[in-house]
Amino acid sequence: MAAEWYYTTNKQQMGPVSWDELRQLATQGLLKPNDLVWTEGMAEWVKATGQAGLFSHGDSFGSVGAARVEGAAPPPPLMSPTRRRIDDELDRQEREDRQDRRKDRQGGGGLKVGLTIGGVLLGLLLFLGCGGLIVGGIIWYALNEGSSANQNYTVSLVAGAQADRTIRAKAGQRVQIVATTPNAFPPPNIGVQILRNGNVIVNPLFAGGNSTVNWTPPATDRYVVRIINRGPGFADTNVRITFN
């Protein structure tokens, strides 16, 4: 099994990622020389610049730069309090999902699921019957915000403005973001950025009203797709996000 690597950025733990993904982060400048890296078997965290193969071409096989200690447990990976709370919440949800599936197998969960679905459908019918189309649209958006389903939407931006959309992507998944601005004169300069935990991790240079970004997430997480109108002028930009 390939080694899994952890790294830090802005004093927060990231990962795990593969060695090739770690080198790609270093090549893109997302992993700085003074950031820390660690993998199982290393005695301690080391600076990325001291890990052979990350910032030089002499070693491309991910050899461990810090000494290994046989039979000794490595130090626990660094983790911020915020990240720990998020992981604890995900673990809790996963345990609850397993309990629900166990109840379904025992025959008691089917009725509960059926009643829940029936209640949701009845509620939607009542909303629609009372002119609740707008409310239904809000509910649909709330359920799909941050999901990994393909998305198509339009943003209207004045020069210098930006619009964010949260998505959930899986590690190694291929994600394509296409931004097009038809019928705009003069053509604006539309930029596409991808953020994780408030930090810009993808920021290609584009000129013109059409931009395409092909991106592979380093880890399963929530990301923000940011569309920026760098001007000149107003822009109605169509955005298509595709997950493969």
> Residue-wise pLDDT tens for the chain (244 aa)?
468 999 999 888 999 999 999 999 999 999 999 999 999 999 999 999 999 889 865 444 455 554 443 443 445 555 555 556 656 666 777 788 888 888 777 665 555 555 677 777 787 666 666 665 554 544 434 444 566 789 999 999 888 899 999 999 999 999 999 988 987 777 788 889 999 999 999 998 766 778 888 999 999 999 999 999 888 888 888 999 999 9
Stretch(es) of the chain classified as CATH 2.60.120.380: 151-243
Q: Residue 71's pLDDT is what?
A: 40
Query: CA-CA distance, 151 to 241, in Å (whole number)?
Result: 5
Query: CA-CA distance, 100 to 94, in Å (whole number)?
Result: 10
Query: CA-CA distance, 209 to 239, in Å (whole number)?
Result: 12
Domain 151-243, what architecture? Sandwich (2.60)
Query: CA-CA distance, 15 to 4, in Å (whole number)?
Result: 8
This prediction's pTM: 0.40
Per-residue HEC secondary structure of 37-70 comes to EEECCECCCEEHHHCCCCCCCCCCCCCCCCCECC
Cβ–Cβ under 8 Å, residues 220 and 148: no
